[in-house]
Amino acid sequence: MSRNLLGRFPVATVGIVAALSLVLAGCAAQTDTTPSATTSPAAPVDAKMTPVLATVETLPEPFVGSDGKTWLVYELSLVNFTSGATAIDKVEVLNPETDTVLKKLSGKAIKRATQPFGGSSPTDEDIADEAGTGSGKATELSTMAPSSGALVFLEVAIDAGQPVPTQLSHRLSLTAEAAPPGSQKLTEDVPAIDITSGQVPIGQNPLRGEGYVSADSCCANRHRRAALAIDNEVFFAQRFAVDWEQLDSS
């Protein structure tokens, strides 16, 4: 008797498992017909590939310099999201309301303004001219290696009496090696950013005496390039640093 009962248990177990499998299969089939809540939205019809991702690290805050012009000093962060080298041929800063070009960098200017993530600023020797003189690094300076990033240091000057825009947009002209043949020359329009309206603090005279000269002051100087990664952000603590040097009678 006990052997017969024991012999029946496996059969009953198989039956239960089979029934359970059918129930689960039915649930799975029903679940498959339900749209997933995590499905990404469809891309807009006018969407296009942007091999370089561009963001602004710190929103520009306008201030009036000693020259009477209003200055916007900030950095554009670029990431080459491709498997090939991508050259930055031109960077334009625009007023999106009027589509007016406020600043344009190309040629030597873009090479001088570009610095790879974690790298150092280019020297005059690094800027090679069309004749091939200099260190020969000119092409490298404005060409991003595959899967790499770079900073473009920007200074936009608004003449005295001219209105300061409330937003800025950027247009990149690129040569992407990894793009399909015939499509390697392309233009990217970066979404507009706001210009902050906060009041820039003005400090008192930090020095006493005479004969002081302002050196390495705003804006394209070695202080400006000191980028530090802190608490998952990039800081530019020396963006407005100034070296004051005192001259004597000699």
185 in any annotated domain: yes
| Type of residue found at 49 | M
Which residue range forms the structural domain that includes residue 68?
A: 52-199
Q: Note whether residue 249 is domain-resident.
A: no
Answer yes or no: is pLDDT of 224 > 90. no
Here the CATH number for the domain that contains residue 140 is 2.60.40
Report the pLDDT value the prediction gives residue 226, as an integer from 0 to 100: 81
Tell whether 194 is covered by a domain.
yes
Let me know if residue 3 belongs to a domain.
no
Identify whether 164 is part of a domain. Answer: yes
- Structural domain contains residue 40: no
pLDDT score of 194: 94
Whether residue 8 lies inside any domain: the answer is no
pLDDT digits (tens, 9 = 90+) for 4-61: 433 333 434 434 334 434 333 444 444 444 555 566 677 666 778 899 999 998 899 9
What pLDDT is attached to residue 130?
43
Considering 46-50, 83-87, 125-129, the range whose residues carry the highest mean pLDDT is 83-87
Q: pLDDT digit string (tens) for 180-200?
A: 899 899 999 999 999 987 777
22 falls within a domain: no
Q: Residue 127: which pLDDT band, with cuts at 50, 70 and 90?
A: low
pTM over 0.85: no
Number of independent structural domains in the chain: 1
